[in-house]
Structure 1
Amino acid sequence: MSADPTSTNPELYTVVFENARVRVLRYRDRPGDATSPHGHPDSVMITLSSFTRRLASGGQQVELALEAGQARWLGAQEHAGRNIGDTETHAIFVELKEGAGDVPAGAPLGPDL
Structure 2
Amino acid sequence: MNYAFARLWVLGVLTAASGTAAAQASDYLRTVFENPHVRVVELLMPVGASLPGHVQPPGVRISAGKARFRLVASDGSAQVLDYDPGQIQWVGEPERRTWTAVAGEAHVFFVEVKSAATGTVPAEPALAADHASRIDPEGHRAVIDNAHVRVLDGFGPAGAVSPPHSHPPTVLVSLSKSRFRVTIDGRTRVFDFEPYLVRWNNHFTHQWTLLAGEPRVVMVELKSADGDPAYKRRRR
Q: TM-score range by the shorter chain?
A: 0.7 to 0.9
Q: Secondary structure at the match of 1:6?
A: helix
Match of 1:109 in 2: none
Q: Offset of 1:2 from its aligned partner?
A: 5.7
| Distance change in 2, residues 1:53/1:98 (3 Å) | same
> Structure 2-normalised TM-score?
0.40
Look up the match of 2:20. none
Is the CA contact 2:169–2:225 (under 8 Å) kept in the aligned structure 1? no
Give the alignment partner of residue 38 of structure 1, picking from 165, 171, 185: 165
Whichever residue aligns with residue 214 of structure 2, its letter is E
Alignment of 1:84 with 2:211, yes or no, is: yes
Which residue matches 1:29?
Answer: 156
Distance 2:129 2:189 in 1: 19
**How far apart are 1:65 and its partner, in Å?**
1.1
Separation of aligned partners in 2, 1:30 and 1:74 = 23
Q: Counterpart of 1:77 in structure 2: which amino acid?
A: F
User: 1:7: how far off?
Assistant: 1.3
Deviates more, 1:90-99 or 1:25-34: 90-99
Q: How many residues align?
A: 99
Higher Rg of the two aligned structures: 2
Asked if the contact 1:2–1:78 (Cα under 8 Å) also holds between the matched residues in 2, the reply is no
Alignment RMSD (CA, Å): 1.7
Higher deviation after alignment, 12-21 or 37-46: 12-21
What is the deviation of 1:96? 1.3
Q: Tell whether the 8 Å contact from 2:173 to 2:217 is kept in structure 1 after alignment.
A: yes
For the 8 Å contact 2:174–2:217, the answer to whether it is kept is: yes
How does the TM-score come out when normalised to structure 1?
A: 0.79
Distance 2:151 2:225 in 1: 17
Deviation at 1:56, TM superposition (A): 0.6
Distance 1:37 1:71 in 2: 23
CA distance in 2, matches of 1:41, 1:47: 17
- Equivalent-residue separation in structure 1 for 2:204 and 2:131 (angstroms): 12
Query: Which secondary structure state, in structure 2, belongs to the residue aligned with residue 25 of structure 1?
Result: strand
